[in-house]
Amino acid sequence: MKRGQTAAAAPAASRRSAIRPFVAMDVLAAANRREAAGARVIHMEVGQPNAPTPRTVLAAAAAALTGGRFGYTEALGIPALRNRIARHYGEAYGVEVDPRRVAITTGSSAAFNLALLAAFDAGDRVLVTAPGYPAYRNILGALDLVPVEVELTSNSPVVTPERLREVHAGQKLAGVLIASPANPTGTMLSPDELRALVRTAEELGIRYISDEIYHRLVYDGVEATAAGMSPHVIVVNSFSKYYCMTGWRIGWMVLPEDLVRPVERIAQNLYICPPDIAQQAAIAAFDATEELDAVRENYAASRRLLLRRLPEIGFTGLYPVDGAFYVYASLGELGDDSEAFSARMLAEAGVAATPGIDFDPVAGRGAIRFSFAGSPADMAEAAERMEAWLR
């Protein structure tokens, strides 16, 4: 550059990138920095199973490694895994699923991208809940879709058909995205509630997306899959949660017939395919039920402890924790700024939890989410630390 010349301004980041951060990951980063400095931190901020990947999965991955070569697979995944997942629906739910409707994805995160791109056009409105998984809202915004948030409370914790009709009358929805069991609350729709909601969506011409990544982590009630209630729904699931395979980045979808080829085309261009070794290893996850159910029992023990201890400490307004591994609670008299509360609790008590603003930017200022995916011993220690800190 010549003397006296002014540098041209760098191009700005895209409008799509101006989405809210995933605050839980920011809290995790802060907790990791404290640990790197030598502090002991109890992690209750992310939905990360404390248990290792099942032995059967590790053995399958080790066997695959002896072949020495991993390559591209079909964009929708290897047939063996698609067939095994289809079989799982028959075994677990008594629902027949054509393996051709199963799409393997790079975690459920990629599944949501693919589903939203294939099912909706820019400007379409999609109902989500508040509190709700923040990535729904953020991805919708990045894809030029419009999230329509329905506020839930601990006394009214699920979307009802009447509420769906009411919102649709004013907003003209194209889609609805509901998790059951839910993140951050753990609340689950009963089979009858889910069926009624799916039928109402179909009557109104709304595409239903059912997030079922916390299936098999249920403590109260009966889980049901939307795949058995309509051939037109999109079902998303993952190997991350119950199967303890977060880092393997492997998930799946059950798709309506009309979206199989559209999803395949988009996947070919965005991802090429899911990781080959993760797909081969995931087949063995369905043979690890005994090991994984023992992990679930640890979650159940942690759930019982927190449902007793959190109200004693001062947290109120807990949502029904039917499944998953989260408790979503009001700060009550403890404060009305969840972000500041979370930061202080990490710095002063060594307990990392996610502020409610991640899940509900408005009402979440007075709420916080605790993950009990760690060990029961860690959850007991976290309760003791919080009680001593707030005393």
Look at residue 6 in the predicted model and tell me its pLDDT: 62
Domain annotation covers residue 11:
no
Residue 300 resides in a domain? yes
| Shared domain check, 200 and 107 | yes
Q: What pLDDT is stored for residue 2 in this prediction?
A: 62
Could you tell me if 226 and 370 lie in one domain?
A: no
Same-domain status, 231 and 194: yes
Question: What pLDDT, on a 0 to 100 scale, did the predictor assign at position 370?
Answer: 98
Q: What is the pLDDT of residue 7?
A: 61
One domain, residues 366 and 268: no
Angle between helices 376-390 and 338-349 (to 10 degrees): 100
Domain that holds residue 42: 18-52+290-390
Choosing from 267, 287, 307, the residue where a domain stops is 287
Domain assignment present for residue 117? The answer is yes
Residue 98 lies in a domain: yes
Tally of domains in the chain? 2
224 domain residue, yes or no: yes
User: Which tokens belong to 157?
Assistant: 């914790």
- Tell me: do 320 and 363 sit in the same domain: yes
Query: The pTM is what?
Result: 0.94
Phi, psi angle pair for 254, to nearest 5°: -105, 120
Please check whether residues 209 and 351 belong to one and the same domain: no
Residues 46 and 173 in one domain: no
Please indicate, yes or no, whether residues 77 and 183 belong to a single structural domain of this protein.
yes
232 lies in a domain?
yes
- Asked, for residue 46, whether it belongs to a domain, the answer is yes
133 and 269 housed in the same domain: yes
Q: What is the CATH number of the domain that holds 265?
A: 3.40.640.10
Domain end (from 224, 258, 287): 287
Are residues 100 and 212 part of one domain?
yes
* Residue 10 belongs to some domain of the structure: no
User: Would you state the pLDDT for residue 237?
Assistant: 98
Mark the ranges of the chain whose per-residue pLDDT is less than 50: none
Residues 45 and 81 in one domain: no
CA angle 375, 188, 232 (to 5 degrees): 125
Q: Are residues 91 and 122 in the same domain?
A: yes
Last residue of a domain, one of 244, 272, 287: 287
Q: What is the pLDDT of residue 75?
A: 98
